[in-house]
Structures are given as C-alpha cells and as structure tokens.
Structure 1
Amino acid sequence: MSSKPAPILPEVRQVKPGDTLLLCRCGRSPQLPDCSSGCSHGLRLEPVQQQLLLLCRCARSRHLPYCDGSHNPPVQGFRERWRRFWWGL
C-alpha cells in the first residue's frame, strides 16, 4: 500500500446565466478555485450560457482558474497512462 497523499482533484462546477463568479488566478486563495474578495488578480465571470467548468483546486495549473491536469505527475508508457485513465490511480 502506498502512503502517498491523494491528489487534490479539480472541481466540476455548473454555471448558468445570471451567475457571477470570482475565480482565483494567482493560486493564493485559501478557498480555491474561488478568489478572496480583497484580491486584485481574480477573474470575474458572468456566464452567458449554461456550461460546466473544470476548475483547479491545487494551484498547480498554468491556466488558473482552469485545471490543466498539473495535479497528476507525468507517467511513462502506455500501460501506466491507461491505468491512470481507467482506474484513476
């Protein structure tokens, strides 16, 4: 058994017209993916259609506030990639 801590997975959030979101782009918010109200780096979103967003909660993404998969360290070989995809390991 591995004692590695579980990765912090992204948040899937459904948004709709009329919602207003303030999302973190600097990675310093204690409540990722949401931004602190006093932060000047937040991204304000006002969706015009209903959609799903994949939002980063680990602060490693290069495209904050969106998840780019950086929470998963890279693996080598088809077998390991398939294992991660199929089993989420």
Structure 2
Amino acid sequence: MQEPECPKVGPYTLELDAGTYWWCACGRSKHQPFCDGSHRGTGIQPMELELTEAQKVWLCGCKRSGDKPRCDGAHKKLV
C-alpha cells in the first residue's frame, strides 16, 4: 500500500446536505476532498461519510487524520 498524497495542509471546510459522500483517502483525486476513482492501484480505498442532516464539516486535507475523514489537526505536524 502506498502512502497517501497530501493535497492540502489543512481541512476542507464545507456545508454539506444530508446524504452519502465518498472522501478521498489517497490524495490523488482531482475533486478533493471527494473521490474520483484515482485511488485505483494504490491499495488505498475511499471512506464513506454519511450525514443524516445538513451540517458544516471539516474534512481532512492532509490524509493523515486519526479521525478520518474528519480533520483532527494532524496537518499541524507536517509544517
């Protein structure tokens, strides 16, 4: 399994509607923070995020959070 890429040092702050989303865990997607299938061949799979109501979320941009797909501040250790 490859190490994920780091497309952003910090969270993606989004207002999302209720529904199911697929968070990019490999860092290769051109549609960050969501999966576009670019993980194929990496051994890294996207993570499902299910929201039962509309809400503001902070999704991990560095792909190293201990609370994936949500940001836990792990990006602060990268800089």
TM-score, normalised via structure 1 length: 0.54
Aligned to 2:17: 16
Q: Identify the match of residue 52 of structure 2 among 36, 48, 53.
A: 48
Greater relative CO (CA pairs within 8 A, separation 6+): 2
Say which structure is richer in helix: 1
Aligned-residue Cα RMSD (Å) equals 2.7
Q: What number of residue pairs does the alignment pair up?
A: 66
Structure 1 runs not aligned, ≥5 long: 1-6, 74-89
3-state secondary structure, aligned to 2:14:
strand
Return the index of the structure with the highest Cα Rg: 1
- Percent of aligned pairs with the same residue? 28
For 1:14, give the aligned amino acid: E
Q: What is the distance in 2 between the residues matched to 1:50 and 1:64?
A: 19
Q: Which residue of 2 aligns with 1:37?
A: 37
Q: State the 4+ residue runs in structure 1 displaced beyond 4 angstroms.
A: none
- Please report the TM-score for the alignment, with normalisation by the length of structure 2: 0.59
